[in-house]
Protein backbone atom coordinates (compact mmCIF):
# COMPACT_ATOMS: atom_id res chain seq x y z
CA UNK A 1 0.00 0.00 0.00
CA UNK A 2 1.38 3.45 -0.85
CA UNK A 3 2.64 5.47 2.03
CA UNK A 4 0.61 8.29 3.45
CA UNK A 5 1.09 11.43 1.35
CA UNK A 6 4.09 13.47 2.43
CA UNK A 7 3.28 16.85 3.90
CA UNK A 8 3.92 19.52 1.32
CA UNK A 9 6.77 21.98 1.61
CA UNK A 10 5.26 25.45 1.70
CA UNK A 11 7.21 28.48 0.50
CA UNK A 12 4.68 31.23 0.73
CA UNK A 13 4.14 34.90 0.14
CA UNK A 14 6.34 37.85 0.83
CA UNK A 15 8.52 38.69 3.79
CA UNK A 16 7.47 41.57 5.97
CA UNK A 17 9.78 44.57 6.14
CA UNK A 18 9.20 46.94 9.04
CA UNK A 19 10.07 50.60 8.55
CA UNK A 20 11.85 52.92 10.97
CA UNK A 21 10.26 56.13 12.20
CA UNK A 22 12.71 59.04 12.12
CA UNK A 23 12.05 61.60 14.83
CA UNK A 24 12.54 65.36 14.49
CA UNK A 25 15.27 67.20 16.39
CA UNK A 26 14.46 70.48 18.11
CA UNK A 27 11.23 72.27 18.86
CA UNK A 28 10.99 74.00 15.46
CA UNK A 29 11.40 70.73 13.61
CA UNK A 30 8.73 69.09 15.75
CA UNK A 31 6.30 71.94 15.15
CA UNK A 32 7.05 71.95 11.45
CA UNK A 33 6.65 68.19 11.23
CA UNK A 34 3.28 68.30 13.01
CA UNK A 35 2.14 71.08 10.73
CA UNK A 36 3.14 69.02 7.70
CA UNK A 37 1.20 66.03 9.03
CA UNK A 38 -1.82 68.22 9.61
CA UNK A 39 -1.72 69.41 6.01
CA UNK A 40 -1.34 65.90 4.67
CA UNK A 41 -4.11 64.64 6.94
CA UNK A 42 -6.48 67.37 5.78
CA UNK A 43 -5.71 66.59 2.13
CA UNK A 44 -6.22 62.87 2.74
CA UNK A 45 -9.64 63.42 4.36
CA UNK A 46 -10.59 65.74 1.52
CA UNK A 47 -9.58 63.15 -1.06
CA UNK A 48 -11.54 60.42 0.71
CA UNK A 49 -14.62 62.63 0.87
CA UNK A 50 -14.33 63.16 -2.87
CA UNK A 51 -13.98 59.40 -3.47
CA UNK A 52 -10.28 59.58 -4.32
CA UNK A 53 -7.41 57.57 -2.90
CA UNK A 54 -4.04 59.00 -2.01
CA UNK A 55 -1.25 57.02 -3.65
CA UNK A 56 2.46 57.51 -4.05
CA UNK A 57 3.87 58.33 -7.47
CA UNK A 58 5.09 54.75 -7.83
CA UNK A 59 1.49 53.53 -8.05
CA UNK A 60 1.08 55.15 -11.46
CA UNK A 61 4.19 53.56 -12.98
CA UNK A 62 2.05 50.81 -14.49
CA UNK A 63 -1.41 52.35 -14.99
CA UNK A 64 -4.37 50.25 -16.00
CA UNK A 65 -6.53 50.40 -19.06
CA UNK A 66 -9.85 51.95 -17.99
CA UNK A 67 -13.15 52.80 -19.65
CA UNK A 68 -14.62 56.28 -20.11
CA UNK A 69 -15.84 56.27 -16.50
CA UNK A 70 -12.42 55.36 -15.13
CA UNK A 71 -13.29 51.75 -14.29
CA UNK A 72 -10.80 48.99 -14.94
CA UNK A 73 -11.54 47.04 -18.12
CA UNK A 74 -10.61 43.66 -16.65
CA UNK A 75 -8.83 42.24 -13.64
CA UNK A 76 -6.55 40.05 -15.75
CA UNK A 77 -5.77 42.64 -18.41
CA UNK A 78 -2.05 43.43 -18.79
CA UNK A 79 -1.04 40.55 -16.51
CA UNK A 80 0.39 37.16 -17.57
CA UNK A 81 -2.96 35.58 -16.67
CA UNK A 82 -4.67 37.59 -19.41
CA UNK A 83 -3.89 34.81 -21.87
CA UNK A 84 -4.64 31.88 -19.55
CA UNK A 85 -7.73 29.75 -20.08
CA UNK A 86 -10.61 30.01 -17.63
CA UNK A 87 -11.54 27.25 -15.22
CA UNK A 88 -11.74 23.66 -16.43
CA UNK A 89 -10.71 24.61 -19.97
CA UNK A 90 -7.18 25.10 -18.66
CA UNK A 91 -6.86 21.42 -17.68
CA UNK A 92 -5.92 19.59 -20.89
CA UNK A 93 -5.04 15.92 -20.54
CA UNK A 94 -2.29 14.25 -22.58
CA UNK A 95 -3.14 11.24 -24.72
CA UNK A 96 -3.41 7.98 -22.79
CA UNK A 97 -0.93 5.28 -23.84
CA UNK A 98 0.07 1.93 -22.45
CA UNK A 99 2.84 2.70 -19.94
CA UNK A 100 4.86 0.06 -18.13
CA UNK A 101 2.43 -2.42 -16.54
CA UNK A 102 -0.53 -0.04 -16.99
CA UNK A 103 -2.92 -0.52 -19.89
CA UNK A 104 -4.17 2.35 -22.01
CA UNK A 105 -7.53 2.21 -20.24
CA UNK A 106 -5.89 2.27 -16.80
CA UNK A 107 -3.85 5.32 -17.83
CA UNK A 108 -6.94 7.03 -19.22
CA UNK A 109 -8.87 6.35 -16.01
CA UNK A 110 -5.99 7.67 -13.90
CA UNK A 111 -5.73 10.86 -15.97
CA UNK A 112 -9.47 11.43 -15.69
CA UNK A 113 -9.22 10.97 -11.93
CA UNK A 114 -6.46 13.57 -11.67
CA UNK A 115 -8.44 16.02 -13.75
CA UNK A 116 -11.45 15.58 -11.48
CA UNK A 117 -9.24 16.13 -8.42
CA UNK A 118 -7.82 19.34 -9.90
CA UNK A 119 -11.31 20.64 -10.60
CA UNK A 120 -12.53 19.78 -7.10
CA UNK A 121 -9.38 21.00 -5.38
CA UNK A 122 -8.72 24.26 -7.21
CA UNK A 123 -11.89 25.41 -8.97
CA UNK A 124 -15.15 24.19 -7.44
CA UNK A 125 -16.96 26.22 -4.81
CA UNK A 126 -17.16 23.31 -2.34
CA UNK A 127 -13.44 23.34 -1.61
CA UNK A 128 -13.13 27.10 -2.11
CA UNK A 129 -15.64 27.72 0.67
CA UNK A 130 -14.48 25.01 3.05
CA UNK A 131 -16.18 21.71 2.15
CA UNK A 132 -13.48 19.14 1.23
CA UNK A 133 -15.80 16.13 0.92
CA UNK A 134 -16.17 16.20 -2.91
CA UNK A 135 -12.38 16.36 -3.22
CA UNK A 136 -11.79 13.58 -0.70
CA UNK A 137 -14.15 11.27 -2.56
CA UNK A 138 -11.81 11.50 -5.56
CA UNK A 139 -9.05 9.83 -3.54
CA UNK A 140 -8.50 6.18 -2.69
CA UNK A 141 -10.42 5.33 0.51
CA UNK A 142 -7.19 4.64 2.42
CA UNK A 143 -5.77 8.03 1.38
CA UNK A 144 -8.61 10.17 2.67
CA UNK A 145 -7.84 10.28 6.38
CA UNK A 146 -4.31 11.59 5.87
CA UNK A 147 -5.44 14.30 3.45
CA UNK A 148 -8.34 15.28 5.71
CA UNK A 149 -5.81 15.71 8.52
CA UNK A 150 -3.66 17.92 6.26
CA UNK A 151 -6.69 20.06 5.46
CA UNK A 152 -7.59 20.41 9.12
CA UNK A 153 -4.06 21.54 9.96
CA UNK A 154 -3.81 24.02 7.07
CA UNK A 155 -1.16 22.07 5.18
CA UNK A 156 -3.03 21.74 1.90
CA UNK A 157 -2.21 24.74 -0.30
CA UNK A 158 -0.06 22.54 -2.50
CA UNK A 159 -3.10 20.70 -3.86
CA UNK A 160 -6.25 22.55 -2.71
CA UNK A 161 -7.52 26.13 -2.59
CA UNK A 162 -9.67 27.44 0.23
CA UNK A 163 -10.67 31.08 0.54
CA UNK A 164 -10.32 32.66 3.94
CA UNK A 165 -13.71 32.90 5.61
CA UNK A 166 -15.01 36.49 5.59
CA UNK A 167 -11.99 37.60 3.56
CA UNK A 168 -11.90 41.37 3.07
CA UNK A 169 -11.56 42.14 0.19
CA UNK A 170 -13.71 39.21 -0.82
CA UNK A 171 -13.10 36.62 -3.51
CA UNK A 172 -14.87 37.42 -6.82
CA UNK A 173 -16.01 34.15 -8.46
CA UNK A 174 -17.67 36.00 -11.35
CA UNK A 175 -14.24 37.09 -12.59
CA UNK A 176 -13.45 33.43 -13.23
CA UNK A 177 -10.35 31.55 -12.14
CA UNK A 178 -7.55 31.63 -14.70
CA UNK A 179 -5.09 28.74 -14.99
CA UNK A 180 -2.29 27.40 -17.12
CA UNK A 181 -0.27 24.22 -16.81
CA UNK A 182 0.97 20.86 -18.01
CA UNK A 183 0.36 17.20 -17.17
CA UNK A 184 2.73 14.30 -17.75
CA UNK A 185 2.97 10.73 -16.50
CA UNK A 186 5.34 7.79 -16.12
CA UNK A 187 5.37 4.34 -14.56
CA UNK A 188 7.53 3.90 -11.47
CA UNK A 189 7.82 1.89 -8.26
CA UNK A 190 7.55 3.16 -4.67
CA UNK A 191 10.05 2.34 -1.93
CA UNK A 192 7.55 -0.27 -0.77
CA UNK A 193 7.75 -2.03 -4.12
CA UNK A 194 4.30 -0.93 -5.28
CA UNK A 195 4.04 -0.23 -9.00
CA UNK A 196 2.41 3.17 -9.55
CA UNK A 197 1.51 5.45 -12.40
CA UNK A 198 2.98 8.81 -11.36
CA UNK A 199 1.11 11.77 -12.87
CA UNK A 200 2.79 15.15 -12.38
CA UNK A 201 0.72 18.32 -12.74
CA UNK A 202 2.35 21.76 -12.89
CA UNK A 203 -0.13 24.64 -12.83
CA UNK A 204 -0.53 28.34 -12.16
CA UNK A 205 -3.92 29.25 -10.63
CA UNK A 206 -5.00 32.90 -10.42
CA UNK A 207 -7.82 34.18 -8.19
CA UNK A 208 -9.39 37.65 -8.18
CA UNK A 209 -10.38 39.64 -5.09
CA UNK A 210 -12.59 42.72 -4.83
CA UNK A 211 -9.95 45.42 -4.27
CA UNK A 212 -11.60 48.81 -3.66
CA UNK A 213 -10.88 51.24 -6.52
CA UNK A 214 -8.58 48.70 -8.16
CA UNK A 215 -8.12 51.04 -11.11
CA UNK A 216 -5.93 53.17 -8.86
CA UNK A 217 -3.41 50.34 -8.54
CA UNK A 218 -1.08 48.61 -11.03
CA UNK A 219 -2.44 45.62 -13.01
CA UNK A 220 -2.58 42.47 -10.92
CA UNK A 221 -2.88 44.14 -7.53
CA UNK A 222 -6.13 42.29 -6.76
CA UNK A 223 -4.85 38.88 -7.93
CA UNK A 224 -3.58 36.04 -5.74
CA UNK A 225 -1.47 33.54 -7.66
CA UNK A 226 -0.78 29.92 -6.75
CA UNK A 227 1.87 27.92 -8.57
CA UNK A 228 2.09 24.24 -7.71
CA UNK A 229 3.65 20.95 -8.69
CA UNK A 230 1.79 17.86 -7.55
CA UNK A 231 2.70 14.22 -8.17
CA UNK A 232 -0.35 11.98 -8.01
CA UNK A 233 0.05 8.21 -7.63
CA UNK A 234 -2.22 5.48 -8.96
CA UNK A 235 -1.07 2.09 -7.65
CA UNK A 236 -1.39 -0.93 -9.86
CA UNK A 237 -4.57 -2.76 -8.77
CA UNK A 238 -2.68 -6.07 -8.48
CA UNK A 239 -0.26 -4.60 -5.92
CA UNK A 240 -2.65 -3.20 -3.30
CA UNK A 241 -5.86 -4.10 -1.53
CA UNK A 242 -9.16 -2.78 -2.86
CA UNK A 243 -9.38 0.15 -0.42
CA UNK A 244 -5.98 1.45 -1.59
CA UNK A 245 -6.85 1.46 -5.28
CA UNK A 246 -7.31 4.91 -6.74
CA UNK A 247 -5.71 8.32 -6.39
CA UNK A 248 -3.02 9.20 -3.84
CA UNK A 249 -1.10 12.45 -3.39
CA UNK A 250 2.56 11.53 -3.58
CA UNK A 251 3.99 15.03 -3.09
CA UNK A 252 2.97 18.66 -3.44
CA UNK A 253 4.99 21.89 -3.46
CA UNK A 254 3.68 25.41 -3.94
CA UNK A 255 4.48 29.12 -4.22
CA UNK A 256 1.81 31.71 -3.38
CA UNK A 257 2.02 35.39 -4.30
CA UNK A 258 0.15 38.42 -2.97
CA UNK A 259 -1.51 36.69 -0.02
CA UNK A 260 -0.95 37.32 3.71
CA UNK A 261 1.02 34.81 5.75
CA UNK A 262 -1.52 34.53 8.56
CA UNK A 263 -4.12 33.22 6.11
CA UNK A 264 -1.72 30.92 4.28
CA UNK A 265 -0.49 29.33 7.49
CA UNK A 266 -4.08 28.21 8.02
CA UNK A 267 -4.28 26.83 4.48
CA UNK A 268 -6.36 29.73 3.12
CA UNK A 269 -6.05 32.43 0.48
CA UNK A 270 -6.81 36.11 0.99
CA UNK A 271 -5.52 39.31 -0.58
CA UNK A 272 -2.46 41.03 0.87
CA UNK A 273 -4.38 44.15 1.87
CA UNK A 274 -4.88 46.28 4.97
CA UNK A 275 -8.12 48.31 4.77
CA UNK A 276 -6.81 50.78 7.36
CA UNK A 277 -3.52 51.69 5.72
CA UNK A 278 -4.38 50.77 2.13
CA UNK A 279 -5.10 54.39 1.08
CA UNK A 280 -1.52 55.27 2.06
CA UNK A 281 0.19 52.41 0.27
CA UNK A 282 -0.45 50.11 -2.62
CA UNK A 283 -0.79 46.34 -2.22
CA UNK A 284 2.11 44.30 -3.53
CA UNK A 285 1.30 42.76 -6.92
CA UNK A 286 2.36 39.16 -7.40
CA UNK A 287 6.05 38.69 -8.28
CA UNK A 288 5.47 38.14 -11.99
CA UNK A 289 9.19 37.89 -12.65
CA UNK A 290 9.24 34.89 -10.31
CA UNK A 291 5.99 33.00 -10.04
CA UNK A 292 5.12 33.28 -13.75
CA UNK A 293 8.69 32.75 -14.96
CA UNK A 294 9.34 29.64 -17.12
CA UNK A 295 12.37 28.89 -14.95
CA UNK A 296 10.29 28.53 -11.79
CA UNK A 297 11.23 25.56 -9.64
CA UNK A 298 8.84 23.85 -7.21
CA UNK A 299 8.66 25.81 -4.00
CA UNK A 300 10.51 28.90 -5.30
CA UNK A 301 9.53 32.01 -3.40
CA UNK A 302 10.06 33.86 -0.15
CA UNK A 303 8.94 32.25 3.09
CA UNK A 304 6.50 33.64 5.63
Domain count of the chain? 1
How far, CA to CA in Å, does 101 sit from each of 118, 197, 201, 235?
25, 9, 21, 11
159, part of any domain: yes
Which residues in the chain come in under a pLDDT of 70? 1-62, 274-289, 302-303
CA distance 286 to 221: 7
70, part of any domain: no
CA distance 28 to 10: 51
154, part of any domain: yes
The 10s digit of each residue's pLDDT in 71-97 is 778 899 999 999 999 999 999 999 999
268, part of any domain: yes
97, part of any domain: yes
* Residue 79, domain extent: 9-15+75-291
89, part of any domain: yes
62, part of any domain: no
54, part of any domain: no
The 10s digit of each residue's pLDDT in 172-208 is 999 999 999 999 999 999 999 999 999 999 999 999 9
pTM of the shown model: 0.77
pLDDT at 267: 94
Contact 167, 259 (CB under 8 A): no
Amino acid sequence: MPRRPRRERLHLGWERHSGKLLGGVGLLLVVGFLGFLGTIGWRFVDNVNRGEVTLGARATEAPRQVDADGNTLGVYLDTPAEHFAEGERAIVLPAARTTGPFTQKQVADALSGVRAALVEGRLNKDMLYGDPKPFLTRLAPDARAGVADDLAQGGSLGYATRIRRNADPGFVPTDGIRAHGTIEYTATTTDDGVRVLAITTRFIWVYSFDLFQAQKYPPGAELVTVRDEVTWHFPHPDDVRASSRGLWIGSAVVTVANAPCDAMKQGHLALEYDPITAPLRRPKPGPTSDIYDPGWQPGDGESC
